[in-house]
Amino acid sequence: MNQRTNILLVVAVVAIIAVTGVFVAQQLGSGNIAPTIAPTIASTADVEMPATATALLASPTAVVATGEAGAPASPLAAAPVSSLQPTIYDYTVVNIYPHDPNAFTQGLVYQDGVFYEGTGLYGRSSLRKVAPETGQVLQQHDLDETFFGEGIAVLGDEIYQLTWQNGVGFVYDRETFAEKRRFTYATEGWGLTHDGEHLIMSDGTPIIYFRDPATLEEARRITVTVNGEPVMRLNELEYIDGKILANIWQTDYMVRIDPATGVVDGVYDFTGLLAQAPPATTATAPDVLNGVAYDHENDRFFVTGKLWPALFEVKLHPRPPQ
């Protein structure tokens, strides 16, 4: 792949994630599912998007026309590339672990040798503790069927969990999963992580919120941008080495964000990852990429998706110019 092709990929990625029009997730939400059709699992086939990086490279300007219903073509498709700085990263699969194919993953955290996982869908939302090697659910708390679970964060001896459109979040005791208190917010709830000082929250817009974990009051916010343009559909979050990593809903990409400026300085391309999973054993087809966790002690990076039959340990490496 030559330098020109690499630049075209950056333009294509920016065209996917940049926002210049109507935000379709106001109708669909980060769960891909409107409340009126909650029992139905939407698949990525419902949204016409190029499946591979090759398709993106072949026609970077066409991506915007098919990516989001009602959204006009992005001016970034024709923008000068000299100011586009994000580094593109590829992956190598290190290990493949079992994952519950019925888990509609909305949040994922690795801590002290286990995964904490938040799942979504009305009537199926939960908070779980999961054994990495086997995928066995060791502990589970089910949400009331009126709540659609979203992102989670583990901070100290507490676990925080968002809900999609209820405007309600939960704080649990980490050991028992007993609910300790609730908090409210005026936006939708999508992704959640923390930097050791603040909870960091996404709501599907370009805004990332920093909240005091004791009061849950907003301390500050940033707007996430690429080449000066806002980035929409920021979903599952993870905080790694001083940067915020965000999955872009309905794509195979994650972006790395500077928490001080909101500028995207890295793009992780996970195209083809799901194809390396064992065949699904359920009638429900796997959905979109969503779920990122990091083992800080051993420098291990984990990725999965909604209803995926596998969870992947991967190594990331910059794509070299050729």
Residue 23 has pLDDT above 60, yes or no: no
Lowest mean pLDDT among 12-21, 79-88, 210-219: 12-21
Q: Distance of CA 172 to CAs 46, 76, 208, 236, Å? A: 35, 43, 23, 19
Please give the mean pLDDT across all residues of the chain: 79
Identify the pLDDT of residue 62.
Answer: 25
Question: What tokens appear for 23 in the block?
Answer: 């935000």
Identify the pLDDT of residue 280.
Answer: 72
Mean per-residue pLDDT, 52-67: 28
Mean per-residue pLDDT, 280-300: 89
135-159: pLDDT as tens digits: 999 999 999 999 999 999 999 999 9
What are the residue boundaries of the structural domains of the chain, listed by start?
Answer: 3-86, 89-318
> CA 116, 122, 125: angle at the middle one, nearest 5?
15
Q: Whole-angstrom Cα distance, residue 78 to residue 147?
A: 42
Q: Distance of CA 37 to CAs 23, 34, 41, 118, Å? A: 19, 6, 9, 21
Q: Under CATH, what is the fold of the domain 89-318?
A: Neuraminidase (2.120.10)
Question: What tokens appear for 245 in the block?
Answer: 């990593």
Q: Whole-angstrom Cα distance, residue 187 to residue 204?
A: 9
Residue 306 has pLDDT above 70, yes or no: yes
Contact 5, 58 (CB under 8 A): no
Identify the pLDDT of residue 84.
Answer: 52
Quote the pTM value. 0.78
Helix (H, G, I), strand (E, B) or coil at 240: strand
Spatial CB neighbours of 321, under 8 Å, sequence gap ≥ 6: 2, 3, 6
Mean per-residue pLDDT, 257-273: 96
> CA 191, 294, 90: angle at the middle one, nearest 5?
90
> CA 70, 30, 206: angle at the middle one, nearest 5?
70
Mean per-residue pLDDT, 254-275: 96
| 29 pLDDT tier (thresholds 50, 70, 90) | very low
Residue 302 has pLDDT above 50, yes or no: yes
- Amino acid, res. 295: D
Helix (H, G, I), strand (E, B) or coil at 219: strand
Scan for tokens 């801590």, then name that residue. 111
Q: Distance of CA 127 to CAs 124, 160, 173, 202, 299, Å? A: 10, 10, 12, 19, 25
Provide, rounded to the nearest whole percent, the portion of the chain with pLDDT above 90: 69
> CA 131, 134, 137: angle at the middle one, nearest 5?
50
Q: Whole-angstrom Cα distance, residue 172 to residue 162?
A: 12
Identify the pLDDT of residue 27.
Answer: 29
- Computed from CA positions of residues 152, 154, 155, 156, in that sequence, does the dihedral angle turn out positive or negative? positive
- Computed from CA positions of residues 226, 232, 233, 236, in that sequence, does the dihedral angle turn out positive or negative? positive
Q: How many CB atoms lie within 10 A of CB 64?
A: 22
